[in-house]
Structure 1
Amino acid sequence: MTTQQQGVGVGKGATLSELYQTSRHILLKTKQDLSLLESSNDSSPDLSTSIRTNLSHVQTLCKDMDSLYRSVASKPQRDLWKRKVEQIAEEADSQREGLDRYFQRRQKRMQEAQERAELLNRANGESSHVMRIFDEEAQAMQSARNSSRMLEEATATGTAILAKYSEQRDRLKGAQRKALDVLNTLGLSNTILRVIERRNRVDQRIKYAGMILTFIIVVAFLRWVR
Protein backbone atom coordinates (compact mmCIF):
# COMPACT_ATOMS: atom_id res chain seq x y z
CA MET A 1 0.00 0.00 0.00
CA THR A 2 1.43 3.41 -0.97
CA THR A 3 1.60 6.43 1.32
CA GLN A 4 -1.14 8.23 -0.55
CA GLN A 5 -3.39 5.18 -0.14
CA GLN A 6 -2.67 5.20 3.61
CA GLY A 7 -3.62 8.88 3.97
CA VAL A 8 -7.05 9.63 5.30
CA GLY A 9 -8.96 12.23 3.29
CA VAL A 10 -10.00 15.49 4.95
CA GLY A 11 -12.47 18.04 3.64
CA LYS A 12 -12.73 17.24 -0.04
CA GLY A 13 -10.92 13.93 0.45
CA ALA A 14 -7.38 15.25 -0.12
CA THR A 15 -4.63 12.79 0.77
CA LEU A 16 -1.62 13.49 2.97
CA SER A 17 0.61 13.80 -0.09
CA GLU A 18 -1.80 16.22 -1.76
CA LEU A 19 -2.01 18.39 1.35
CA TYR A 20 1.78 18.43 1.55
CA GLN A 21 2.17 19.47 -2.09
CA THR A 22 -0.48 22.15 -1.66
CA SER A 23 1.32 23.51 1.41
CA ARG A 24 4.66 23.63 -0.42
CA HIS A 25 3.06 25.44 -3.36
CA ILE A 26 1.47 28.02 -1.06
CA LEU A 27 4.73 28.58 0.82
CA LEU A 28 6.59 29.09 -2.44
CA LYS A 29 3.99 31.67 -3.49
CA THR A 30 4.09 33.51 -0.14
CA LYS A 31 7.90 33.53 -0.24
CA GLN A 32 7.81 35.22 -3.66
CA ASP A 33 5.17 37.71 -2.48
CA LEU A 34 7.16 38.51 0.66
CA SER A 35 10.31 39.10 -1.39
CA LEU A 36 8.33 41.40 -3.70
CA LEU A 37 6.89 43.24 -0.71
CA GLU A 38 10.33 43.89 0.79
CA SER A 39 12.19 44.71 -2.42
CA SER A 40 9.64 47.04 -3.99
CA ASN A 41 8.50 48.53 -0.67
CA ASP A 42 4.96 47.98 -1.90
CA SER A 43 2.64 49.22 0.84
CA SER A 44 -0.46 47.80 -0.84
CA PRO A 45 -2.57 46.12 1.86
CA ASP A 46 -3.82 43.53 -0.64
CA LEU A 47 -0.42 41.85 -0.98
CA SER A 48 0.26 41.69 2.77
CA THR A 49 -3.28 40.48 3.42
CA SER A 50 -2.83 37.76 0.81
CA ILE A 51 0.40 36.61 2.48
CA ARG A 52 -1.24 36.41 5.90
CA THR A 53 -4.25 34.56 4.49
CA ASN A 54 -2.02 32.02 2.74
CA LEU A 55 0.08 31.46 5.87
CA SER A 56 -3.09 30.90 7.89
CA HIS A 57 -4.19 28.38 5.25
CA VAL A 58 -0.86 26.57 5.57
CA GLN A 59 -1.33 26.46 9.33
CA THR A 60 -4.71 24.80 8.83
CA LEU A 61 -3.20 22.32 6.37
CA CYS A 62 -0.48 21.47 8.92
CA LYS A 63 -3.18 20.60 11.46
CA ASP A 64 -4.87 18.37 8.89
CA MET A 65 -1.57 16.70 7.98
CA ASP A 66 -0.75 16.24 11.65
CA SER A 67 -3.96 14.27 12.06
CA LEU A 68 -3.35 12.25 8.89
CA TYR A 69 0.28 11.20 9.38
CA ARG A 70 -0.54 9.78 12.81
CA SER A 71 -2.80 7.25 11.10
CA VAL A 72 0.01 5.90 8.90
CA ALA A 73 0.63 2.30 9.91
CA SER A 74 4.33 2.11 9.07
CA LYS A 75 6.49 3.77 11.72
CA PRO A 76 9.31 4.78 9.31
CA GLN A 77 6.73 6.38 6.99
CA ARG A 78 5.02 8.02 9.98
CA ASP A 79 8.33 9.48 11.20
CA LEU A 80 9.13 10.69 7.69
CA TRP A 81 5.80 12.50 7.39
CA LYS A 82 6.24 13.93 10.86
CA ARG A 83 9.51 15.58 9.81
CA LYS A 84 7.94 16.88 6.59
CA VAL A 85 4.98 18.41 8.44
CA GLU A 86 7.30 20.00 10.98
CA GLN A 87 9.39 21.50 8.18
CA ILE A 88 6.27 22.98 6.58
CA ALA A 89 5.19 24.46 9.93
CA GLU A 90 8.66 25.89 10.58
CA GLU A 91 8.81 27.47 7.13
CA ALA A 92 5.37 29.04 7.66
CA ASP A 93 6.45 30.44 11.04
CA SER A 94 9.65 31.84 9.49
CA GLN A 95 7.70 33.62 6.75
CA ARG A 96 5.23 34.98 9.30
CA GLU A 97 8.12 36.39 11.32
CA GLY A 98 9.59 37.90 8.16
CA LEU A 99 6.25 39.61 7.45
CA ASP A 100 6.11 40.94 11.00
CA ARG A 101 9.65 42.32 10.71
CA TYR A 102 8.70 44.03 7.45
CA PHE A 103 5.78 45.79 9.14
CA GLN A 104 7.99 46.76 12.09
CA ARG A 105 10.55 48.34 9.76
CA ARG A 106 7.80 50.08 7.81
CA GLN A 107 6.23 51.39 11.02
CA LYS A 108 9.62 52.64 12.20
CA ARG A 109 10.25 54.46 8.90
CA MET A 110 6.81 56.08 9.08
CA GLN A 111 7.43 57.18 12.66
CA GLU A 112 10.84 58.63 11.79
CA ALA A 113 9.36 60.50 8.83
CA GLN A 114 6.62 61.90 11.08
CA GLU A 115 9.16 62.99 13.68
CA ARG A 116 11.27 64.72 11.03
CA ALA A 117 8.21 66.54 9.74
CA GLU A 118 7.25 67.64 13.25
CA LEU A 119 10.80 68.79 13.93
CA LEU A 120 10.83 70.79 10.70
CA ASN A 121 7.51 72.40 11.58
CA ARG A 122 8.76 73.36 15.02
CA ALA A 123 11.95 74.78 13.51
CA ASN A 124 9.93 76.88 11.05
CA GLY A 125 7.11 77.90 13.38
CA GLU A 126 9.00 78.44 16.62
CA SER A 127 12.20 80.16 15.54
CA SER A 128 11.49 83.08 17.86
CA HIS A 129 11.09 80.66 20.76
CA VAL A 130 14.44 79.08 19.92
CA MET A 131 16.12 82.47 19.76
CA ARG A 132 14.62 83.39 23.13
CA ILE A 133 16.06 80.20 24.61
CA PHE A 134 19.47 81.10 23.18
CA ASP A 135 19.20 84.60 24.69
CA GLU A 136 18.29 83.17 28.09
CA GLU A 137 21.22 80.77 27.93
CA ALA A 138 23.58 83.62 27.02
CA GLN A 139 22.26 85.73 29.92
CA ALA A 140 22.69 82.80 32.31
CA MET A 141 26.29 82.32 31.16
CA GLN A 142 27.01 86.04 31.57
CA SER A 143 25.50 85.98 35.08
CA ALA A 144 27.65 82.99 35.98
CA ARG A 145 30.77 84.81 34.74
CA ASN A 146 29.84 87.90 36.78
CA SER A 147 29.30 85.80 39.90
CA SER A 148 32.64 84.08 39.38
CA ARG A 149 34.39 87.44 39.03
CA MET A 150 32.74 88.74 42.21
CA LEU A 151 33.83 85.62 44.09
CA GLU A 152 37.40 86.11 42.90
CA GLU A 153 37.36 89.76 43.99
CA ALA A 154 35.92 88.88 47.40
CA THR A 155 38.54 86.18 47.90
CA ALA A 156 41.33 88.58 46.94
CA THR A 157 39.96 91.21 49.36
CA GLY A 158 39.83 88.71 52.23
CA THR A 159 43.35 87.54 51.50
CA ALA A 160 44.62 91.12 51.49
CA ILE A 161 42.90 91.85 54.82
CA LEU A 162 44.44 88.80 56.45
CA ALA A 163 47.86 89.76 55.07
CA LYS A 164 47.48 93.25 56.58
CA TYR A 165 46.60 91.76 59.97
CA SER A 166 49.63 89.51 59.80
CA GLU A 167 51.87 92.47 58.95
CA GLN A 168 50.42 94.53 61.81
CA ARG A 169 50.94 91.61 64.20
CA ASP A 170 54.62 91.47 63.27
CA ARG A 171 54.96 95.23 63.77
CA LEU A 172 53.25 95.05 67.17
CA LYS A 173 55.57 92.27 68.26
CA GLY A 174 58.60 94.33 67.22
CA ALA A 175 57.30 97.43 69.02
CA GLN A 176 56.56 95.42 72.16
CA ARG A 177 60.04 93.94 72.20
CA LYS A 178 61.57 97.40 71.83
CA ALA A 179 59.37 98.77 74.59
CA LEU A 180 60.34 95.93 76.91
CA ASP A 181 63.99 96.54 76.15
CA VAL A 182 63.57 100.22 76.95
CA LEU A 183 61.71 99.46 80.19
CA ASN A 184 64.30 96.96 81.26
CA THR A 185 66.94 99.52 80.54
CA LEU A 186 65.14 102.09 82.68
CA GLY A 187 64.86 99.54 85.48
CA LEU A 188 61.05 99.53 85.80
CA SER A 189 59.55 97.35 88.43
CA ASN A 190 58.20 93.85 87.84
CA THR A 191 54.66 95.12 88.47
CA ILE A 192 54.77 97.42 85.47
CA LEU A 193 56.19 94.61 83.35
CA ARG A 194 53.31 92.30 84.31
CA VAL A 195 50.81 95.02 83.42
CA ILE A 196 52.44 95.35 80.03
CA GLU A 197 52.35 91.58 79.50
CA ARG A 198 48.65 91.45 80.40
CA ARG A 199 47.99 94.28 77.96
CA ASN A 200 49.93 92.34 75.35
CA ARG A 201 47.72 89.28 75.86
CA VAL A 202 44.59 91.40 75.62
CA ASP A 203 45.86 92.98 72.40
CA GLN A 204 46.56 89.56 70.95
CA ARG A 205 43.05 88.36 71.82
CA ILE A 206 41.58 91.46 70.17
CA LYS A 207 43.77 90.85 67.13
CA TYR A 208 42.72 87.19 66.76
CA ALA A 209 39.07 88.07 67.34
CA GLY A 210 39.34 90.64 64.57
CA MET A 211 40.90 88.09 62.21
CA ILE A 212 38.15 85.52 62.94
CA LEU A 213 35.42 88.16 62.48
CA THR A 214 36.94 89.19 59.15
CA PHE A 215 37.06 85.56 57.99
CA ILE A 216 33.40 85.04 58.94
CA ILE A 217 32.39 88.18 57.03
CA VAL A 218 34.26 87.00 53.90
CA VAL A 219 32.66 83.50 54.03
CA ALA A 220 29.18 85.00 54.51
CA PHE A 221 29.76 87.31 51.55
CA LEU A 222 30.86 84.41 49.32
CA ARG A 223 27.73 82.40 50.21
CA TRP A 224 25.52 85.42 49.55
CA VAL A 225 27.06 85.89 46.10
CA ARG A 226 26.44 82.22 45.19
Structure 2
Amino acid sequence: MSGGTLSDVYQQARVSLFKVRDGLERLERLECSTSSSSSSPRDGTLSGSEITQSVKRDLGQLQKYSEELDQLWRLQLQKSQRDLWKRKVEQVLEEADSLRLGLEKYLGRQHRRQIEAQERADLFRRMNGDSAQVLQIFDDEQQAMRSLQRSSNMLEEAMAAGVAVLSKYSVQRDRLKSAQRKALDILTTVGLSNAVLRVIEKRHRIDKWISYTGMIVTIVVVIAVWMWVR
Protein backbone atom coordinates (compact mmCIF):
# COMPACT_ATOMS: atom_id res chain seq x y z
CA MET A 1 0.00 0.00 0.00
CA SER A 2 1.10 3.55 -0.70
CA GLY A 3 0.37 4.73 2.84
CA GLY A 4 -1.91 7.59 1.73
CA THR A 5 -5.37 8.32 3.02
CA LEU A 6 -8.51 7.02 1.37
CA SER A 7 -9.16 10.41 -0.20
CA ASP A 8 -5.61 10.69 -1.51
CA VAL A 9 -5.67 7.23 -3.09
CA TYR A 10 -9.10 7.95 -4.55
CA GLN A 11 -7.83 11.14 -6.21
CA GLN A 12 -4.80 9.29 -7.59
CA ALA A 13 -7.10 6.60 -8.97
CA ARG A 14 -9.26 9.26 -10.67
CA VAL A 15 -6.16 10.75 -12.28
CA SER A 16 -5.13 7.32 -13.54
CA LEU A 17 -8.63 6.79 -14.91
CA PHE A 18 -8.38 10.05 -16.83
CA LYS A 19 -4.98 9.12 -18.25
CA VAL A 20 -6.11 5.67 -19.37
CA ARG A 21 -9.32 7.03 -20.90
CA ASP A 22 -7.41 9.77 -22.72
CA GLY A 23 -4.88 7.24 -24.00
CA LEU A 24 -7.60 4.95 -25.34
CA GLU A 25 -9.28 7.87 -27.11
CA ARG A 26 -5.97 8.78 -28.74
CA LEU A 27 -5.50 5.18 -29.86
CA GLU A 28 -8.98 5.11 -31.39
CA ARG A 29 -8.40 8.40 -33.22
CA LEU A 30 -5.06 7.12 -34.47
CA GLU A 31 -6.71 3.88 -35.54
CA CYS A 32 -9.31 5.75 -37.58
CA SER A 33 -6.86 8.17 -39.20
CA THR A 34 -4.06 5.73 -40.00
CA SER A 35 -4.35 4.32 -43.49
CA SER A 36 -2.15 1.29 -42.76
CA SER A 37 -0.34 -0.24 -39.82
CA SER A 38 3.02 0.65 -41.35
CA SER A 39 2.37 4.40 -41.56
CA SER A 40 4.74 6.57 -39.53
CA PRO A 41 3.41 9.21 -37.10
CA ARG A 42 3.95 12.89 -37.76
CA ASP A 43 6.84 14.70 -36.07
CA GLY A 44 6.16 15.23 -32.38
CA THR A 45 3.34 12.65 -32.34
CA LEU A 46 3.62 9.41 -30.40
CA SER A 47 3.19 6.21 -32.35
CA GLY A 48 0.44 3.72 -31.61
CA SER A 49 2.85 1.36 -29.86
CA GLU A 50 4.16 4.15 -27.63
CA ILE A 51 0.66 5.22 -26.65
CA THR A 52 -0.27 1.58 -26.02
CA GLN A 53 2.68 1.11 -23.66
CA SER A 54 1.74 4.30 -21.81
CA VAL A 55 -1.87 3.12 -21.44
CA LYS A 56 -0.69 -0.24 -20.13
CA ARG A 57 1.49 1.45 -17.50
CA ASP A 58 -1.34 3.74 -16.40
CA LEU A 59 -3.76 0.81 -16.33
CA GLY A 60 -1.35 -1.17 -14.14
CA GLN A 61 -1.09 1.78 -11.75
CA LEU A 62 -4.88 2.11 -11.75
CA GLN A 63 -5.17 -1.55 -10.81
CA LYS A 64 -2.93 -1.00 -7.78
CA TYR A 65 -4.97 2.02 -6.67
CA SER A 66 -8.18 0.00 -7.11
CA GLU A 67 -6.90 -2.80 -4.90
CA GLU A 68 -5.76 -0.29 -2.28
CA LEU A 69 -9.13 1.49 -2.34
CA ASP A 70 -10.93 -1.81 -1.92
CA GLN A 71 -9.02 -2.34 1.32
CA LEU A 72 -9.16 1.21 2.70
CA TRP A 73 -12.91 1.85 2.45
CA ARG A 74 -13.59 -1.13 4.72
CA LEU A 75 -11.59 0.55 7.51
CA GLN A 76 -14.08 3.42 7.81
CA LEU A 77 -15.68 3.33 11.24
CA GLN A 78 -18.90 5.19 10.46
CA LYS A 79 -21.42 3.15 8.51
CA SER A 80 -22.55 6.14 6.46
CA GLN A 81 -18.97 6.82 5.40
CA ARG A 82 -18.43 3.16 4.56
CA ASP A 83 -21.52 3.10 2.33
CA LEU A 84 -20.47 6.32 0.57
CA TRP A 85 -16.93 5.15 -0.06
CA LYS A 86 -18.13 1.71 -1.09
CA ARG A 87 -20.17 3.29 -3.91
CA LYS A 88 -17.23 5.45 -4.97
CA VAL A 89 -14.80 2.54 -4.96
CA GLU A 90 -17.22 0.32 -6.89
CA GLN A 91 -17.54 3.06 -9.50
CA VAL A 92 -13.75 3.24 -9.85
CA LEU A 93 -13.54 -0.54 -10.17
CA GLU A 94 -16.26 -0.60 -12.83
CA GLU A 95 -14.60 2.15 -14.85
CA ALA A 96 -11.23 0.38 -14.56
CA ASP A 97 -12.76 -2.88 -15.82
CA SER A 98 -14.41 -1.04 -18.71
CA LEU A 99 -11.14 0.64 -19.72
CA ARG A 100 -9.24 -2.62 -19.46
CA LEU A 101 -11.81 -4.26 -21.73
CA GLY A 102 -11.50 -1.37 -24.19
CA LEU A 103 -7.73 -1.82 -24.35
CA GLU A 104 -8.10 -5.57 -24.89
CA LYS A 105 -10.50 -4.96 -27.79
CA TYR A 106 -8.11 -2.46 -29.36
CA LEU A 107 -5.18 -4.89 -29.04
CA GLY A 108 -7.33 -7.62 -30.56
CA ARG A 109 -8.16 -5.43 -33.57
CA GLN A 110 -4.49 -4.53 -33.96
CA HIS A 111 -3.52 -8.20 -33.87
CA ARG A 112 -6.10 -9.08 -36.53
CA ARG A 113 -4.90 -6.24 -38.76
CA GLN A 114 -1.30 -7.41 -38.44
CA ILE A 115 -2.30 -10.95 -39.40
CA GLU A 116 -4.32 -9.70 -42.38
CA ALA A 117 -1.45 -7.48 -43.52
CA GLN A 118 0.94 -10.41 -43.27
CA GLU A 119 -1.42 -12.63 -45.25
CA ARG A 120 -1.81 -9.97 -47.95
CA ALA A 121 1.96 -9.55 -48.15
CA ASP A 122 2.42 -13.31 -48.47
CA LEU A 123 -0.25 -13.48 -51.16
CA PHE A 124 1.29 -10.63 -53.18
CA ARG A 125 4.71 -12.21 -52.83
CA ARG A 126 3.42 -15.53 -54.13
CA MET A 127 1.55 -13.85 -56.99
CA ASN A 128 4.60 -11.82 -58.00
CA GLY A 129 6.80 -14.90 -57.79
CA ASP A 130 4.53 -17.29 -59.68
CA SER A 131 1.19 -15.79 -60.71
CA ALA A 132 0.39 -18.73 -62.99
CA GLN A 133 0.58 -21.11 -60.05
CA VAL A 134 -1.79 -18.95 -58.00
CA LEU A 135 -4.29 -18.82 -60.86
CA GLN A 136 -4.03 -22.57 -61.24
CA ILE A 137 -4.82 -23.00 -57.56
CA PHE A 138 -7.92 -20.85 -57.95
CA ASP A 139 -9.02 -22.85 -61.01
CA ASP A 140 -8.51 -26.13 -59.15
CA GLU A 141 -10.60 -24.89 -56.25
CA GLN A 142 -13.43 -23.83 -58.57
CA GLN A 143 -13.37 -27.20 -60.34
CA ALA A 144 -13.41 -28.99 -56.99
CA MET A 145 -16.44 -26.93 -55.92
CA ARG A 146 -18.28 -27.75 -59.16
CA SER A 147 -17.46 -31.46 -58.78
CA LEU A 148 -18.67 -31.40 -55.19
CA GLN A 149 -21.93 -29.75 -56.28
CA ARG A 150 -22.49 -32.38 -58.97
CA SER A 151 -21.83 -35.16 -56.48
CA SER A 152 -24.25 -33.59 -54.02
CA ASN A 153 -26.96 -33.38 -56.72
CA MET A 154 -26.42 -37.04 -57.68
CA LEU A 155 -26.64 -38.10 -54.05
CA GLU A 156 -29.89 -36.17 -53.56
CA GLU A 157 -31.37 -37.79 -56.67
CA ALA A 158 -30.31 -41.26 -55.49
CA MET A 159 -31.80 -40.67 -52.06
CA ALA A 160 -35.05 -39.44 -53.61
CA ALA A 161 -35.23 -42.53 -55.83
CA GLY A 162 -34.60 -44.79 -52.83
CA VAL A 163 -37.32 -43.10 -50.81
CA ALA A 164 -39.77 -43.47 -53.71
CA VAL A 165 -39.00 -47.20 -54.06
CA LEU A 166 -39.41 -47.78 -50.34
CA SER A 167 -42.72 -45.91 -50.41
CA LYS A 168 -43.95 -48.15 -53.24
CA TYR A 169 -42.95 -51.28 -51.31
CA SER A 170 -44.81 -49.97 -48.28
CA VAL A 171 -47.96 -49.33 -50.31
CA GLN A 172 -47.74 -52.79 -51.90
CA ARG A 173 -47.29 -54.39 -48.49
CA ASP A 174 -50.38 -52.64 -47.16
CA ARG A 175 -52.34 -53.78 -50.18
CA LEU A 176 -51.18 -57.40 -49.73
CA LYS A 177 -52.16 -57.34 -46.06
CA SER A 178 -55.56 -55.92 -46.92
CA ALA A 179 -56.05 -58.52 -49.64
CA GLN A 180 -55.02 -61.26 -47.23
CA ARG A 181 -57.51 -60.15 -44.64
CA LYS A 182 -60.30 -60.11 -47.21
CA ALA A 183 -59.29 -63.52 -48.52
CA LEU A 184 -59.18 -64.98 -45.03
CA ASP A 185 -62.60 -63.57 -44.30
CA ILE A 186 -64.01 -65.09 -47.48
CA LEU A 187 -62.29 -68.43 -46.94
CA THR A 188 -63.41 -68.59 -43.38
CA THR A 189 -66.94 -67.80 -44.44
CA VAL A 190 -67.09 -70.56 -47.03
CA GLY A 191 -65.45 -72.97 -44.59
CA LEU A 192 -62.27 -73.89 -46.48
CA SER A 193 -59.97 -76.38 -44.87
CA ASN A 194 -57.09 -75.50 -42.55
CA ALA A 195 -54.65 -76.83 -45.11
CA VAL A 196 -55.70 -74.17 -47.61
CA LEU A 197 -55.42 -71.51 -44.95
CA ARG A 198 -51.88 -72.65 -44.10
CA VAL A 199 -50.91 -72.47 -47.78
CA ILE A 200 -52.23 -68.91 -47.95
CA GLU A 201 -50.38 -67.93 -44.78
CA LYS A 202 -47.16 -69.46 -46.11
CA ARG A 203 -47.61 -67.50 -49.33
CA HIS A 204 -48.13 -64.35 -47.32
CA ARG A 205 -44.88 -64.92 -45.38
CA ILE A 206 -43.02 -65.46 -48.63
CA ASP A 207 -44.45 -62.21 -50.03
CA LYS A 208 -43.48 -60.39 -46.84
CA TRP A 209 -39.88 -61.61 -47.07
CA ILE A 210 -39.78 -60.65 -50.73
CA SER A 211 -40.86 -57.13 -49.73
CA TYR A 212 -38.24 -56.95 -46.96
CA THR A 213 -35.57 -58.24 -49.31
CA GLY A 214 -36.50 -55.59 -51.87
CA MET A 215 -36.26 -52.85 -49.28
CA ILE A 216 -32.84 -54.08 -48.07
CA VAL A 217 -31.54 -54.26 -51.65
CA THR A 218 -32.80 -50.73 -52.28
CA ILE A 219 -31.04 -49.42 -49.17
CA VAL A 220 -27.79 -51.18 -50.18
CA VAL A 221 -28.02 -49.65 -53.67
CA VAL A 222 -28.59 -46.16 -52.23
CA ILE A 223 -25.60 -46.53 -49.87
CA ALA A 224 -23.43 -47.83 -52.72
CA VAL A 225 -24.39 -44.86 -54.90
CA TRP A 226 -23.65 -42.48 -52.04
CA MET A 227 -20.23 -44.06 -51.43
CA TRP A 228 -19.47 -43.90 -55.18
CA VAL A 229 -20.32 -40.21 -55.57
CA ARG A 230 -18.07 -39.31 -52.64
- Superposition pairs for residues 44-55 of structure 1, below 5 Å? 44-55=48-59
**8 Å contact from structure 2 (residues 17, 62) kept in 1:** yes
Q: Closer, same or farther in 2 for the Cα pair 1:136/1:23, shift >3 Å? A: closer
Question: Shift of residue 19 of structure 1?
Answer: 0.9
1:133 & 1:50 partners in 2: Cα distance?
45
**8 Å contact from structure 2 (residues 16, 62) kept in 1:** yes
Question: Shift of residue 135 of structure 1?
Answer: 8.6
Per the alignment, residue 15 of structure 1 pairs with 5
Per the alignment, residue 28 of structure 1 pairs with 18
Identity over the aligned pairs, expressed in percent? 47
RMSD: 3.0
Question: Shift of residue 45 of structure 1?
Answer: 2.8
Q: Closer, same or farther in 2 for the Cα pair 1:135/1:87, shift >3 Å? A: closer
**8 Å contact from structure 1 (residues 66, 85) kept in 2:** yes
Q: Closer, same or farther in 2 for the Cα pair 1:33/1:76, shift >3 Å? A: same
Among residues 97, 117, 123, which one is paired with 1:113 in the alignment?
117
Q: Secondary structure at the match of 1:73?
A: coil
Q: Which amino acid aligns with 2:11?
A: Q
Q: Which amino acid aligns with 1:63?
A: E
2:71 & 2:24 partners in 1: Cα distance?
29
**Greater relative CO (CA pairs within 8 A, separation 6+):** 2
**8 Å contact from structure 1 (residues 37, 43) kept in 2:** no
1:44 & 1:100 partners in 2: Cα distance?
14
The number of residues matched between the two structures is 131
Rg larger in structure: 1
1:19 & 1:54 partners in 2: Cα distance?
14
Q: Which structure 2 segments of 5+ residues have no match?
A: 32-45, 145-230
| Alignment TM-score, normalising by the size of structure 1 | 0.51
| Alignment TM-score, normalising by the size of structure 2 | 0.50
Question: Shift of residue 134 of structure 1?
Answer: 8.0
Q: Which runs of 4+ in 1 moved over 4 A?
A: 130-137
**8 Å contact from structure 1 (residues 33, 51) kept in 2:** yes
Q: Which amino acid aligns with 1:32?
A: D
Q: Which structure 1 segments of 5+ residues have no match?
A: 1-9, 141-226
